[in-house]
Amino acid sequence: MTKTAALLLAGGLALSACASDEDGGDGGSGGASDGDLKVGVAYDTGGRGDKSFNDSAIAGVEAAVQELGGDVEEDIEELSPNDDGSNREELLTQLAENGYNPVIAVGFAYGDIIADIASDYPETDFAIVDTSVEDMGEDNLTGLVFAEEEGSFLAGVAAASKSVTGHIGFVGGQESPLIKKFEAGFKAGAKAVDPDIIVDTTYLSPAGDPSGFGDPEGGKVAAQSMYQSGADIVFHAAGGSGEGVFEAAVEAGQRAIGVDSDQYLSASPEQQAVIMTSMLKRVDNAVEAYITDVAEGDVEGGTDILNDLSTEGVGLSESGGYIDDIQDVLEDFRQQIIDGDIEVPTTP
């Protein structure tokens, strides 16, 4: 039950379910302290402005705060990790200690530490994007997880359907199990359309090293090599490094596929001409729904919330109209995945 007795919804109605529980209870407070919604955000590598993963997360936070009658300038605290990510534990601790509730950890890199922090602050609600929490045993911790492989499968279908050379590429930020889900789905989707298609793969940093998500120059070099080798479409799952992939596509006069958010919308006109689609990973929707549930006292802690094709948690953007002509193909594969006729792999 929530600790917040006076949190108002956008329509100005008090949350009646909270009114009788001002002292809170176990398994998280379910809202902000002192009747105010105060959301803490600990970003992944790159922070705000990556035009991808982090920006999608903060968009969801701001939407929730506005909908709940809060002030995005005063009621949100945003912290970013240092270059090597060694201060992630300090970020979460600082947010919880300063009364922010809920606290959102953006990215799997917080997975090794968030359970300990949640244990130290049992009346604060925590959520982590891209990490399962079901085996962590903390009732005030929720996992916001995604079927990245399903959306990436459709990206592979689109790439193979539109490729002229029969040769495409994938650039991953960090060689981790999460990013390998993108690679696995992309390859499976491409080969479902063209079993003989060539798919080049490059990772910008090894497991444990997050620098590959903030290396636009590395992304550019990787994509340039693929285009020079004959690839005509490159899909990136590399956070801020994707900016370099788009630059390489512009210079090569070829296509690219974005990730997480609809990257066409934040791109320059030159880049819009080459961004064929983006694999949407609706972190914004997942975060917004979680914060709203916390405010209403509806969070069941210690569990994961899965966002997949069936919930529209992943998918493809249509901005620019570049994949309008293959919508029937995409919809057919999408429905087969939802129906269970196609089981998308999670490892390459």
CATH number of the domain residue 222 falls in: 3.40.50.2300
Question: Does some domain include residue 27?
Answer: yes
Q: Is residue 95 part of a domain?
A: yes
Rounded Cα gap, residues 281 and 20, in angstroms: 38
- And the tokens for 37? 């919604």
Q: How far apart are CA 329 and CA 159, in angstroms?
A: 12
Q: What is the pTM of this model?
A: 0.83
> Quick one: tokens of 293?
């549930």
* Residue 76 maps to a domain: yes
> Do 131 and 155 lie in a common domain?
no
pLDDT at residue 197, rounded to an integer:
98
Q: How far is CA 223 from CA 125, 179, 190, 246, 337, in A?
A: 40, 17, 18, 8, 29
- Structural domain contains residue 11: no
pLDDT at residue 93, rounded to an integer: 98
156 shares a domain with 103: no
Residues 175 and 247 in one domain: yes
Domain co-membership, 251 together with 294: no
Q: In terms of domains, do 108 and 168 share one? A: no
Going by their DSSP bridges, the two strands 255-260 and 233-237 should be labelled as parallel
Label residue 333 exposed, middle or buried (CB < 10 Å: 0-12, 13-18, 19+): buried
Amino acid 200 reads D
In a domain, 62, yes or no: yes
Phi, psi of 316 (to 5 degrees): -125, 140
Q: Same domain for 171 and 136?
A: no
Sign of CA dihedral 110, 113, 114, 120: negative
Other CB atoms within 10 A of residue 209 CB: 17
Which residue, 142, 145, 148, 152, is CA-closest to 189? 152
Q: Is 95 exposed, middle or buried (0-12, 13-18, 19+ CB in 10 A)?
A: buried
**Is 58 part of a structural domain of the chain?**
yes
Q: Which residues pair with 97 in a beta bridge?
A: none
Residue 256 lies in a domain: yes
Q: Are 238 and 245 in contact (CB under 8 A)?
A: yes
Residues 152 and 194 in one domain: yes
pLDDT of residue 51: 82
Residues 33, 39 contacting (CB under 8 angstroms): no
Residue 77 maps to a domain: yes
Q: Are 197 and 251 in a shared domain?
A: yes
Number of domains in the chain: 2
Same domain, 47 and 141: yes
pLDDT in tens, the chain (348 residues): 333 333 333 333 232 233 333 333 344 544 443 457 899 999 998 899 888 889 999 999 999 999 999 999 999 999 999 988 899 999 999 999 999 999 999 999 999 999 999 999 999 999 999 999 999 999 999 999 999 999 999 999 999 999 999 999 999 999 999 999 999 999 999 999 999 999 999 999 999 898 999 999 999 999 999 999 999 999 999 999 999 999 999 999 999 999 999 999 999 999 999 999 999 999 999 999 999 999 999 988 899 999 999 999 999 999 999 999 999 999 999 999 999 999 999 999
Question: Does one domain contain both 92 and 179?
Answer: no
Task: Give the per-residue SS3 of 122-142.
Answer: CCCCEEEECCCCCCCCCCCEE
**pLDDT score at 28:** 52
Co-location of 110 and 140 in the same domain? yes
- One domain for residues 25 and 142: yes
Which domain covers residue 130, as residue numbers?
16-146+283-310
